[in-house]
Chains A and B, each alone.
Chain A
Amino acid sequence: QKEVEQNSGPLSVPEGAIASLNCTYSDRGSQSFFWYRQYSGKSPELIMFIYSNGDKEDGRFTAQLNKASQYVSLLIRDSQPSDSATYLCAVSPGYSSASKIIFGSGTRLSIRP
């Protein structure tokens, strides 16, 4: 079983709709959860992090965490063509910057005009 699992996609969403990206993780002791966006040929860019159960909103992005179900999701509202990218879910066992992060394989998102 992979430590962090994501559907590889591609996930195709019409412009203006909500894109929903999902991630599950195997280590029940995980403490920190991240979503990175990676455009083709570029390095990953942090877009959200969440530590507590529930929702965290930042602009058009909402991260959702359910530790009991070991599930993390990212919602993108009012999807734009510029949101087309690979989204990497990442999980860490700790809170400190010294904690290593384990990445999922990523979900390719395509926003169609």
Chain B
Amino acid sequence: SAVISQKPSRDICQRGTSLTIQCQVDSQVTMMFWYRQQPGQSLTLIATANQGSEATYESGFVIDKFPISRPNLTFSTLTVSNMSPEDSSIYLCSVGQSPTGGETQYFGPGTRLLVL
């Protein structure tokens, strides 16, 4: 499977500020996904990022709050804008792959965000 890295691995931010999270993959992938995992909760899909087109956001998530870039087939960024303590969460990127013929998703290590 692809090797996925994320930066930063963790951060503590003040409310009202913005943080950009980077996701880098060691091979070209068509689809990249951004998820949020709040403390003690499961994963919630924020948006799907396809290279060369606008990201597709899930219900409850908007571009003004979570702008996404996908400049090429190995990289994507997610910005968490105008942060509040409710944005404290783990943010994960994943990529779609089919290493054994089956299509699935693999996750990066995550970015742990604490908003004060």
Contact = CB atoms under 8 A, between A and B. Distances in A.
Interface string A25-36: 000000010101
Given A43-B92, A43-B110, A97 B42 contact: no
B92 A97 contact: no
Interface residues of A, number: 24
A97 B98 contact: yes
A49 B42 contact: no
Contact of A105 (B41, B58, B103, B108): B41
Contacts of A94: 103
Given A49-B102, A103-B42, A97 B107 contact: no
Interface string B71-96: 00000000000000000001010011
A104 B96 CA distance: 19
A46 B4 CA distance: 14
A101 B105 contact: yes
A96 interface: yes
B97 A43 contact: no
Interface residues of B, number: 28
Interface of B: 1, 29-31, 33, 41-45, 48, 50, 58, 90, 92, 95-98, 102-110
B42 A32 contact: no
Contact of A88 (B1, B43, B45): B43
Contact of B31 (A36, A43, A45, A98): A98
Interface of A: 32, 34, 36, 42-46, 49, 51, 88, 94-106
B97 A97 contact: yes
B44 to A, nearest CB: 8
A96 B103 contact: yes
**Which of B96, B105, B110 has the most chain A CB atoms closer than 10 A to its own CB?**
B105
A34 B33 contact: no
Contacts of B98: 97
Contact of A100 (B33, B50, B95, B110): B33
B96 A97 contact: yes
A97 B41 contact: no
A97 B109 contact: no
